[in-house]
């Protein structure tokens, strides 16, 4: 009995020590961005774990995560240390869930260790997967808005406006989207003294879209060679319109292939059941089986 009480008090003391070490004050507002304000209760542990994990991460890995945050559209909303801390928390939660599952089933020690590593990797990868999904959705949104933007810039330049004015008119005519925000950022850079091509190149890097990079490269080459911007923009507009049509045709051509799986797994079995059920019932009624 005394041994049980001592073990219980030891566990309580250890839990209290862990709580004290891993529960920093929430009064510092700079510890967390406003994007994760609904998970404020979690971020004391996220902040502590990020400080423990960050020294072991290479600068290349940190740079890749920062680029992923920027291309996902969260440069000023999410910090690097938050993603790293969420990865650490996700890894610990994954290992904890696997530990609970391991107590319910019987596995070899090697398989249990492999399962724990896999669960930790999956939990740590979830924040990266979330950023990649947001980046892909952002790219698709910009790709949908880019043809209208290019047509508006082309019309304004052909009407006699300079490039910066054409960009402002196109930005004001666009709907609320990621491309409009990046264009606003580029225009603000131009107003602060950055060159037009340099600001547009920085926008192309933030967008991380091949079409935008190609468009900026064409503008840079036209400005370097002294070619008329109206001619270049008109050629670019026609080219991207044709590429958009070809991309739609490509997606339409993939539809029959994508329909094969539901057709074979769901539609064909139901059809065979409807056709074969009366036949089987008649054969059973005739006592052939």
Confidence of residue 39 (pLDDT cuts 50, 70, 90): low
Cα–Cα distance, 13 to 94 (Å, whole number): 25
Is 50 exceeded by the pLDDT of residue 28? no
Is 60 exceeded by the pLDDT of residue 31? no
> CA torsion, points 220, 222, 228, 230, in degrees to nearest 10?
-50
- pLDDT tens readout for residues 246-275: 888 888 888 888 888 888 888 888 888 888
Cα–Cα distance, 125 to 209 (Å, whole number): 24
List Cβ neighbours of 52 (8 Å cut-off, separation of 6 or more).
88
Q: Which helix (H) or strand (E) holds 18?
A: helix 2-21
Higher pLDDT: 165 or 51? It is 165
- pLDDT tens readout for residues 131-145: 999 999 999 898 888
Q: Is residue 60 one of the residues assigned to a domain?
A: no
139-155 average pLDDT score? 88
Cβ atoms within 10 Å of 108's Cβ, excluding its own: 8
59-82 average pLDDT score? 85
87-98 average pLDDT score? 84
pTM for the structure as a whole:
0.70
If one counts the domains in the chain, the total is 1
Confidence of residue 7 (pLDDT cuts 50, 70, 90): very low
Residue 128: its pLDDT value, please?
92
Q: Is residue 213 one of the residues assigned to a domain?
A: yes
The CA–CA distances, whole Å, from 238 to 148, 160, 234, 251 equal 12, 20, 6, 20
Q: Is residue 80 one of the residues assigned to a domain?
A: no
Cα–Cα distance, 19 to 4 (Å, whole number): 23
Residue 47 in contact with residue 92, Cβ under 8 Å? no
Cα–Cα distance, 1 to 65 (Å, whole number): 53
Q: Is residue 58 one of the residues assigned to a domain?
A: no
Query: Helices 109-158 & 210-225, crossing angle to 10 degrees?
Result: 40
Q: Is residue 110 one of the residues assigned to a domain?
A: no
Domain that holds residue 166: 141-244
Phi, psi at residue 186, to the nearest 5°?
Answer: -65, -40
Q: Is residue 229 one of the residues assigned to a domain?
A: yes
Residue 157 region by backbone torsions, left for phi larger than 0, else alpha for psi between -120 and 50, else beta: alpha
Number of Cα atoms under 13 Å in the Cβ half of residue 142: 25
- pLDDT tens readout for residues 186-234: 999 888 888 888 999 989 888 888 888 888 888 888 888 877 888 888 8
Q: Is residue 146 one of the residues assigned to a domain?
A: yes
Q: Is residue 208 one of the residues assigned to a domain?
A: yes
Is 50 exceeded by the pLDDT of residue 29? no
Query: Helices 109-158 & 178-191, crossing angle to 10 degrees?
Result: 60
Find tokens 């250890």 and name the residue. Answer: 14
């Amino acid at each position: 009995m005394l041994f049980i009480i001592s073990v219980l008090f030891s566990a309580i003391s250890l839990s209290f020590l862990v709580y004290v070490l891993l529960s920093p004050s929430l009064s510092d507002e700079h510890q967390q961005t406003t994007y994760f304000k609904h998970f404020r209760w979690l971020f004391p542990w996220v902040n502590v774990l990020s400080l423990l994990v960050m020294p072991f991460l290479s600068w290349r890995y940190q740079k890749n995560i920062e680029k992923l945050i920027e291309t996902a559209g969260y440069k000023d909303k999410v910090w690097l240390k938050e993603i790293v801390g969420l990865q650490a928390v996700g890894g610990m939660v994954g290992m904890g869930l696997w530990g609970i599952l391991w107590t319910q089933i019987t596995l070899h020690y090697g398989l249990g260790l492999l399962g724990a590593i896999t669960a930790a990797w999956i939990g740590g990868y979830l924040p990266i997967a979330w950023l990649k999904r947001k980046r892909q959705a952002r790219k698709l949104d910009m790709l949908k808005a880019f043809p209208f933007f290019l047509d508006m810039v082309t019309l304004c330049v052909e009407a006699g406006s300079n490039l910066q004015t054409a960009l402002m008119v196109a930005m004001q005519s666009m709907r609320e989207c990621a491309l409009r925000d990046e264009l606003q950022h580029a225009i603000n850079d131009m107003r602060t003294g950055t060159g037009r091509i340099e600001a547009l190149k920085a926008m192309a890097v933030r967008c991380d879209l091949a079409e935008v990079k190609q468009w900026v490269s064409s503008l840079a080459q036209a400005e370097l060679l002294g070619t008329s911007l109206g001619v270049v923009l008109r050629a670019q507009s026609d080219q991207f319109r044709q590429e958009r049509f070809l991309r739609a045709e490509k997606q339409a051509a993939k539809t029959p292939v994508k329909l094969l799986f539901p057709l074979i797994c769901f539609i064909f079995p139901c059809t065979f059941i409807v056709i074969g059920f009366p036949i089987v019932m008649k054969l059973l009624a005739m006592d052939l089986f």
